[in-house]
């Protein structure tokens, strides 16, 4: 069993298939392998690396220390382990991300040379990509019809856990996990914690979720994005417990957004780094040499817009950011600072504990207006209005921006309007939002099949 983004023992079709195969065709033993691939690990941000270590430690403990950790190129590692164990088959949950698909095909070819099949069973999704399509077989690019068809398609019940724990086989010595010095406190990891989080959510924050999920000042979200990213819980396990009430349906849609973005990336792999709607690549993003200082202020949470800065500081301090605030800070980078969404997506992947390529790239493109459900002409978030609506007492802003704690309630969202707003050296606004909104609209208009202005902007 080759574990990847499925670090659990319950509801695990690939693991069940490996155990069944060992009983039917072998000696009943199963090698539980996790390959630390330098090409993936070295590119990951420190928070994500540290959380993976914690999750692997929890998985290893649940297997009585029998998880085999090996470093190196997956082709080399898999061949080495298969030969050392005399394994007759290798089992995986199917990966649909561009790198993962290419890696699995390469490994499959190497294993075929020694007549060992790579068997794909299940995936990290309730409904795997390529299964939910329009009537003509083409993929959806708009969420709402995808959601309707996804519901009609349905999903299987969670896979039952194996009846008998196999004698895990260690054909080679397990290598130590890499040393990672994380600057943030890593939350508790592992399957048991994921199931506990979900249980607590069902007994608390699910009530009122339809409204409260948008409030960063409230504890109104599930916190399951990190366990889902690492496969410590399967979405089927979650979906099985949801009913038809509005709060539950809203949460079901959030699970579906993750599957929708996986579908979009699987069917358009180039959209990992390029806009799904390529015409917006001509929008006239600022040149890199022109925005380095502005990008840095955004990254450090020093834009002078409290809700934006609170989100960026939350990200850096905790490795997570509230989803509503993710949209606000993304809109600010793209539409107030005119910086290409890729720079924001890269920063997020470097710092997010739940960094998921599909959700991250397409979440950014949704906000930028160049991906799915694009509404570029009017979806320009006003940071002040967003803050007043979703953080009405400025509790979220106060938590992450102590320089504004002297401003009571809603006043903290507009320090420039307060006589003592800059008493504690909070930075002044780096741009005028209303002016930059007009500039964004001008650039969009200029790129509608017409010549893009080139004196100042890139093509």
Q: Check pLDDT > 60 for residue 163.
A: yes
Query: Is the residue at 309 inside a domain?
Result: yes
The Cα–Cα gap between 24 and 28 comes to 8
Q: Are residues 287 and 401 in the same domain?
A: yes
- 453 band by pLDDT with thresholds 50, 70 and 90: very low
Q: What DSSP element (H or E) covers 33?
A: strand 32-36
Task: Give the rounded percent of residues in the chain with a pLDDT score beyond 90.
Answer: 87
Q: Check pLDDT > 50 for residue 452.
A: no
* Residue 277 pLDDT: 84
Domain count, the chain: 3
Task: Give the rounded percent of residues in the chain with a pLDDT score beyond 70.
Answer: 96
Q: Are the C-beta atoms of 362 and 97 separated by less than 8 Å?
A: no
A 10 A CB-CB count for 367 gives 25
Strands (E), 198-292: none
**CATH code for the domain of 204:** 1.25.40.80
Radius of gyration of the chain (CA): 24
* Residue 444 pLDDT: 82
To the nearest whole number, what is the mean pLDDT of the chain? 94
* Residue 132 pLDDT: 98
Query: Is the residue at 174 inside a domain?
Result: no
Q: What tens digit of pLDDT does each residue of 229-257 get?
A: 999 999 999 999 999 999 999 999 999 99
Q: Are residues 250 and 390 in the same domain?
A: no
The Cα–Cα gap between 124 and 311 comes to 28
Three-state DSSP at 92 gives strand
Dihedral angle computed from the Cα positions of residues 72, 77, 78 and 80, in that order, rounded to the nearest 10 degrees: 170
* Residue 374 pLDDT: 56
Q: What tens digit of pLDDT does each residue of 173-185 get?
A: 999 999 999 999 9
Q: What tens digit of pLDDT does each residue of 264-303 get?
A: 999 999 999 999 988 777 777 888 788 999 999 999 999 9
DSSP state of 125: S
Domain boundary among 234, 267, 300: 267
* Residue 375 pLDDT: 63
* Of residues 344, 360, 258, 257, the one with CA closest to residue 299: 344
* Of residues 38, 42, 48, the one with CA closest to residue 5: 48
452: left (phi over 0), alpha (psi -120 to 50) or beta: beta
The Cα–Cα gap between 141 and 331 comes to 21
Dihedral angle computed from the Cα positions of residues 46, 50, 52 and 55, in that order, rounded to the nearest 10 degrees: -160
Domain boundary among 206, 236, 267: 267
Q: Are residues 106 and 29 in the same domain?
A: yes
Query: Is the residue at 456 inside a domain?
Result: no
The whole-model pTM stands at 0.94
Q: Which residues pair with 35 in a beta bridge?
A: 70
Q: Are residues 239 and 144 in the same domain?
A: yes
Q: What tens digit of pLDDT does each residue of 121-158 get?
A: 999 999 999 999 999 999 999 999 999 999 999 999 99
Q: Are residues 319 and 403 in the same domain?
A: yes
Half-sphere exposure of 306 (CA within 13 A, CB side): 35
Using a CB cutoff of 8 Å and minimum separation of 24, what contacts does 12-16 make?
Answer: 12/93, 12/122, 12/159, 12/161, 12/234, 13/93, 13/121, 13/122, 13/159, 14/91, 14/92, 14/93, 14/119, 14/120, 14/121, 14/122, 15/91, 15/162, 16/121, 16/159, 16/160, 16/161, 16/162
* Residue 280 pLDDT: 77
* Of residues 3, 2, 255, the one with CA closest to residue 147: 255
User: Which residues contact residue 149 at a Cβ distance below 8 angstroms, ignoring those fewer than 6 apart?
Assistant: 132, 133, 134, 140
Q: Are residues 298 and 435 in the same domain?
A: yes
Q: Are residues 263 and 308 in the same domain?
A: no
The Cα–Cα gap between 353 and 356 comes to 9
The Cα–Cα gap between 316 and 295 comes to 15
Q: Are residues 89 and 155 in the same domain?
A: no
Average pLDDT over residues 16-43: 94
Q: Which residues pair with 390 in a beta bridge?
A: none
Q: Are residues 288 and 432 in the same domain?
A: yes
Q: Are residues 383 and 325 in the same domain?
A: yes
Query: Is the residue at 173 inside a domain?
Result: no
Q: Which residues pair with 33 in a beta bridge?
A: 2, 68
* Residue 454 pLDDT: 41
Q: Are residues 299 and 411 in the same domain?
A: yes
The Cα–Cα gap between 183 and 179 comes to 13
**CATH code for the domain of 84:** 3.40.50.620
User: Which residues contact residue 349 at a Cβ distance below 8 angstroms, ignoring those fewer than 6 apart?
Assistant: 44, 45, 355, 357, 360
Query: Is the residue at 454 inside a domain?
Result: no
Q: What tens digit of pLDDT does each residue of 46-76 get?
A: 999 999 999 999 999 999 999 999 999 999 9
Average pLDDT over residues 382-386: 97
Domain boundary among 79, 103, 123: 123
- Domain of residue 330: give its range: 278-446
**CATH code for the domain of 300:** 1.10.579.10
The Cα–Cα gap between 186 and 189 comes to 8
Q: What tens digit of pLDDT does each residue of 411-438 get?
A: 999 999 999 999 999 999 999 999 999 9
CB-neighbour burial class of residue 210 (10 A; exposed 0-12, middle 13-18, buried 19+):
middle
Q: What tens digit of pLDDT does each residue of 85-133 get?
A: 999 999 999 999 999 999 999 999 999 999 999 999 999 999 999 999 9
Q: Are residues 114 and 248 in the same domain?
A: no
């Amino acid at each position: 069993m080759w574990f990847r983004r499925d670090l659990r023992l319950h509801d695990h079709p690939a693991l069940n298939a490996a155990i069944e195969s060992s009983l039917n065709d072998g000696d009943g033993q199963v090698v539980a392998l996790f390959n630390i691939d330098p090409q993936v690990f070295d590119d990951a941000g420190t928070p994500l690396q540290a959380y993976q270590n914690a999750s692997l430690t929890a998985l290893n403990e649940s297997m009585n220390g029998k998880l085999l950790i090996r470093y190196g190129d997956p082709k080399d590692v898999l061949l080495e382990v298969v030969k050392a164990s005399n394994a007759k088959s290798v089992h995986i949950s199917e990966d649909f991300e561009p790198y993962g698909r290419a890696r699995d095909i390469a490994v499959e070819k190497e294993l075929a040379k020694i007549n060992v099949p790579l068997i794909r069973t299940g995936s990290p999704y309730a409904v795997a990509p390529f299964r939910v399509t329009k009537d003509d077989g083409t993929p959806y690019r708009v969420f709402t019809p995808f959601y309707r068809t996804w519901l009609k398609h349905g999903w299987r019940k969670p896979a039952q856990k194996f009846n008998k724990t196999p004698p895990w086989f260690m054909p080679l010595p397990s290598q130590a996990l890499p040393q990672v010095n994380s600057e943030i406190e890593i939350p508790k990891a592992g399957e048991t914690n994921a199931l506990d989080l979900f249980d607590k959510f069902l007994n608390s924050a699910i009530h009122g979720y339809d409204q409260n999920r948008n409030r960063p000042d409230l504890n109104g979200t599930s916190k399951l994005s990190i366990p889902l990213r690492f496969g410590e819980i399967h979405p089927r396990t979650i979906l099985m417990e949801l009913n038809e009430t509005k709060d539950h349906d809203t949460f079901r849609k959030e699970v579906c957004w993750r599957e929708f973005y996986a579908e979009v990336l699987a069917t358009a792999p180039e959209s990992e780094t390029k806009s799904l709607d390529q015409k917006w690549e001509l929008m006239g993003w600022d040149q890199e040499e022109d925005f380095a200082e502005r990008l840095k202020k955004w990254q450090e949470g020093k834009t002078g817009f409290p809700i934006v800065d609170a989100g960026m500081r939350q990200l850096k301090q905790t490795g997570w950011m509230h989803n509503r605030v993710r949209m606000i800070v993304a809109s600010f980078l793209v539409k107030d600072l005119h910086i290409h969404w890729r720079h924001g997506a890269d920063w997020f992947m470097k710092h997010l504990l739940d960094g998921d390529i599909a959700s991250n790239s397409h979440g950014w493109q949704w906000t930028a207006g160049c991906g799915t459900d694009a509404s570029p002409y009017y979806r320009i978030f006003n940071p002040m209005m967003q803050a007043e609506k979703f953080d009405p007492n400025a509790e979220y802003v106060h938590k992450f921006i102590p320089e504004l704690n002297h401003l009571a309630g809603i006043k903290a969202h507009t320090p420039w309007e307060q006589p003592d707003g800059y008493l504690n050296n909070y930075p002044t606004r780096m741009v005028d939002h209303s002016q930059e909104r007009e500039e964004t609209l001008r650039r969009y208009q200029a790129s509608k099949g017409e010549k893009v202005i080139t004196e100042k902007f890139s093509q």
